Amino acid sequence: MRLKQHLNEVKKVKGIKVWLDDVRKAPSGWIHFKTVPELIEFYRKNNNKISELSLDHDLGEDIPTGYDFMVWLEEKFHTGKYKIVPKIKVHSANPVGKRKMEQAIKSIERLK
């Protein structure tokens, strides 16, 4: 149900800001996702409208991480599935996960 609400909101908006975090609340004006599968589904349908992503690495035990999302996204850009690269930042407190995610961001940005 929550995803349908997000999709309805997006139909009216350009320049969507997306927040991925299981604990921290999203800033005002950002659409909040807590899981990678939910974010991937949203991204597939709205990739050309997303202007900014802010991602956490650790999203709970034994579930996909923010890095898993970045691996998925990096593959999509490198295969040409998506062309518009949003601004991507990492707000994770996990230094190793953050570094891996930032490397994936650099890989995507080289395609610009």
pLDDT tens across 8-59, in order? 555 555 699 999 999 999 999 999 999 999 999 999 999 999 999 999 999 9
Residue 90's pLDDT is 98
Q: What is the pLDDT of residue 111?
A: 81
Residues in the chain: 112
The domain spans of the chain are 20-109
- DSSP states of the chain: -HHHHHHHHHTT-SSEEEEE-SSSPPPTTEEEE-SHHHHHHHHHHHGGGEEEEEE-S--STTS--HHHHHHHHHHHHHTTS-----EEEE--S-HHHHHHHHHHHHHHHTT-
* Predicted TM-score (pTM) of this structure: 0.86
